[in-house]
Chain A
Amino acid sequence: MRRSTRATVHAALVAAALGAGAAGLLAAAVLPGWAQNATSAVAIDNFTFKPQQLTVKSGTKITWTNKDDIPHGIASANNAFGRSKALDTDDSYSFIFAAPGTYQYFCYLHPHMTGTIVVEPAAGGNAVQ
């Protein structure tokens, strides 16, 4: 059997993480306060998220990549952002964090694996809180 092909999932629908009131902010995404094109990475290695806590500016695209021989899956602890497909070895999943806040997440296959993304307002303000 062939292993599933490498699937890189870009969850660009940042709106999923935001309430209706915040939608206006999305439209203003090009304004200062949006960390444009900023990226950051989390490795999944030995059943841990590395780094376990990551602090970024709002608008940063975070990419998780599975380095283990076993699949993992990313899910928000309180459904604040979209769930990934199952990530087989070397698969990755990305999500753009628009709204400042603290996002707890876990592996939905191995829920003892947990991590945190802290999203700070980018320079210039625009915090949604």
Chain B
Amino acid sequence: MNESDRDDGVSRRRVLECMTWAGTGVLWTMTGGVPHSLGIIGEAAAQEARGLTFLQISDSHIGFDFKTPYPNSVGTLEEAIAKVNALPAKPAFMIHTGDISHLSLASQFDDADRIISQTRLDVHYVPGEHDFVDADRKLFLDRYGRGTKGAGWYSFDANGVHFIGLVNVFDLRAGGLGNLGNEQLEWLEADLKGRSASTPIVVFAHIPLWTVYPDWGWGTEDGGRVLEYLKRFGSVTVLNGHIHQVMQKVEGNVTFHTARSTAFPQPAPGTAPSPGPLKAPADKLRSMLGIASVTFKQGEQRLAIIDTPLQG
């Protein structure tokens, strides 16, 4: 388990800004730069003050059933979902950051849906490139794209946090990285327009929006424009998958985080000839797969992200 460090402090101004969306009935104090609620009016407010916890799972790659050392992808997704169901506090909902399937087959989406639905949580999906194997992207969009725009992007609000699901795995160009495209970026600009800078923002997409390792295609061509639009917001969290390992970076008000896969690990950037599956010893493998839980507490600039491996 590792928790993002939150020791770089929250400016008093920022805390005051963030307080504006916290609603009434809560008194605040500052301890060591981190605000805590002192008093709460009513039970409903008490619920609020515990903050919002949601889960991220990623890269379930249902259909990837390679020989040893990998267990089958259905089995490890079942283990991940068992972890979710065993959590002491039920999360508000789940996001899936893509590569649900290995080859966009209906049977693979069916298996994923059957297992993931055992959580009885709402799940917000964005596609990975493995979910967009068909040129017209119907296999994913017919199933998960209802109410979304373009190639499947959308936004929603929960507990005062604004969530944005982006799609960066379509219209990919030879030699390029992940791609969002003008239409989506214009939509994003409009979606953010008029929102208060104190609104906490969570952006999620499959391929990292920051450049992790271009030699392996681990980045998004026009991801910089997203960050440009988000610059004025006090709390921005970017959640990605695709690279099958935990990686975190903090840049100003933006925290970038990638989640583990539930199916197979990939090597650290540049440590192998290619980004193909990392062949880990069987007893180590489950420590390299897992889920992430993300908690937002009012007044805290940064979300607490806890990565939990399937084992270890």
> Do these two chains really belong together in a complex?
yes
Q: Which residues of A contact B (CB under 8 A)?
A: 1-4, 46-48, 68-71, 73, 75, 77, 83, 85-86, 88-89, 104-106, 108-114
The SS class assigned to the A binding surface is loop
Q: How far is the CA of A108 from the CA of B129 in the complex (A)?
A: 8
Which of B74, B133, B135, B276 is within 8 Å of A68, CB to CB?
B276
B102 to A77, Cβ gap below 8 A?
A: no
B176 to A111, Cβ gap below 8 A?
A: yes
Q: How far is the CA of A104 from the CA of B172 in the complex (A)?
A: 14
Query: Which residue on A lies nearest to B277, using beta carbons?
Result: A69
B174 to A104, Cβ gap below 8 A?
A: yes
Point out the residues of chain B lying under 8 angstroms from A48, CB to CB: 274
B174 to A46, Cβ gap below 8 A?
A: no
B274 to A47, Cβ gap below 8 A?
A: yes
B37 close to chain A: CB less than 8 A? no
17 residue pairs A–B, Cβ–Cβ below 8 Å: A1-B73, A1-B108, A1-B111, A4-B103, A4-B105, A46-B273, A68-B274, A68-B276, A70-B276, A105-B174, A106-B172, A106-B173, A106-B174, A109-B133, A111-B173, A112-B176, A113-B217
A112 to B175, Cβ gap below 8 A?
A: yes
Point out the residues of chain B lying under 8 angstroms from A104, CB to CB: 174
Which of A108, A109, A112 is within 8 Å of B215, CB to CB?
A112
Q: How far is the CA of A2 from the CA of B65 in the complex (A)?
A: 7
Which of B65, B104, B174, B277 is within 8 Å of A1, CB to CB?
B65
Query: Which residue on A lies nearest to B213, using beta carbons?
Result: A112
Q: How far is the CA of A1 from the CA of B109 in the complex (A)?
A: 12
Q: How far is the CA of A113 from the CA of B274 in the complex (A)?
A: 11
Docked complex: B261-302 residues within 8 A CB-CB of A: 273-277
Query: Which residue on B lies nearest to A47, using beta carbons?
Result: B274
A111 to B217, Cβ gap below 8 A?
A: yes
B273 to A111, Cβ gap below 8 A?
A: no
B66 close to chain A: CB less than 8 A? yes
CB B178 to nearest CB in A, in angstroms, measures 9
Q: How far is the CA of A118 from the CA of B144 in the complex (A)?
A: 41
B276 to A1, Cβ gap below 8 A?
A: no
The SS class assigned to the B binding surface is loop
7 A-B pairs closest in CB distance: A106-B174, A112-B217, A47-B274, A77-B174, A46-B274, A111-B172, A86-B133
CB A13 to nearest CB in B, in angstroms, measures 16
Point out the residues of chain A lying under 8 angstroms from B176, CB to CB: 111-112
Interface centre among A104, A109, A110, A111 (most CB of B within 10 A): A111
Point out the residues of chain B lying under 8 angstroms from A69, CB to CB: 66, 276-277
B216 close to chain A: CB less than 8 A? yes
Q: With A3-B65, A4-B103, A4-B105 in contact, is A111–B274 under 8 Å at CB?
A: no
Give B34-65 as 1s and 0s: 1 = Cβ < 8 Å from A's Cβ atoms. 00000000000000000000000000001101
Point out the residues of chain A lying under 8 angstroms from B73, CB to CB: 1
B130 close to chain A: CB less than 8 A? yes
Q: How far is the CA of A71 from the CA of B134 in the complex (A)?
A: 13
Point out the residues of chain A lying under 8 angstroms from B108, CB to CB: 1
Point out the residues of chain B lying under 8 angstroms from A68, CB to CB: 274, 276
Q: How far is the CA of A48 from the CA of B276 in the complex (A)?
A: 11
With A1-B65, A108-B129 given, can you name 13 additional A-B contacts, CB distance below 8 Å?
Answer: A1-B63, A1-B73, A3-B65, A4-B105, A71-B103, A86-B104, A88-B103, A89-B66, A104-B174, A106-B174, A110-B217, A111-B217, A114-B174
Point out the residues of chain A lying under 8 angstroms from B72, CB to CB: 1
Q: How far is the CA of A84 from the CA of B276 in the complex (A)?
A: 21
Point out the residues of chain B lying under 8 angstroms from A46, CB to CB: 273-274, 276
B214 close to chain A: CB less than 8 A? yes
A47 to B275, Cβ gap below 8 A?
A: yes
